[in-house]
């Protein structure tokens, strides 16, 4: 009787441990999450393009538990003077939100702000003449705002 009871209790305990370990590993983000986050928040066009592709297919990255939420350019226009800054603002939000969640925002803020500015300048490179000058001036203003208030 005791042996049967002990075997039953051991089996029950093992089942509980298995469920707990499975639940923990199912909710834990992959170990390379910091590297993926870093890759998507660099100043290069390839970093932006990788992030944009992942953003378009967020479900493929669900195990990483990234915060994809955005308010785009916050209280500033998303498309000032017709310049399409919204996606650059979304990537900037992505970096801010995910580095804050990781507890390493202060160490990465300057790079995130620089990446934002590089993204905006790449948009401006699609213009010429007075439009390019206006775009670059607006990009500089947005960059200075996030450096000071972001």
Catalytic residue among 41, 66, 92, 117: 92
Distance CA(25)–CA(48), nearest Å, equals 30
Distance CA(110)–CA(76), nearest Å, equals 20
Backbone CA torsion sign across 59, 100, 112, 134: positive
Active site residue 92: yes
Residues designated as active site: 92
């Amino acid at each position: 009787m005791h042996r049967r009871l002990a075997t039953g209790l051991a089996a029950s305990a093992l089942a509980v441990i298995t469920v707990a370990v499975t639940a923990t590993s199912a909710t834990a983000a992959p170990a390379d999450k910091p590297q993926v986050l870093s890759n998507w928040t660099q100043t290069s066009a390839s970093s932006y393009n990788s992030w944009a592709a992942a953003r378009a297919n967020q479900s493929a990255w669900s195990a990483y538990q990234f915060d994809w939420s955005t308010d785009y350019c916050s209280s500033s226009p998303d498309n000032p003077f017709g310049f399409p800054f919204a996606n650059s603002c979304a990537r900037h939000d992505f970096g801010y939100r995910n580095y804050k969640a990781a507890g390493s925002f202060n160490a990465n803020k300057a790079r995130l702000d620089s990446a934002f500015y590089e993204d905006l300048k790449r948009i401006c490179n699609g213009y010429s003449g007075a439009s390019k000058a206006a775009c670059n001036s607006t990009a500089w203003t947005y960059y200075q705002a996030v450096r000071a208030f972001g």
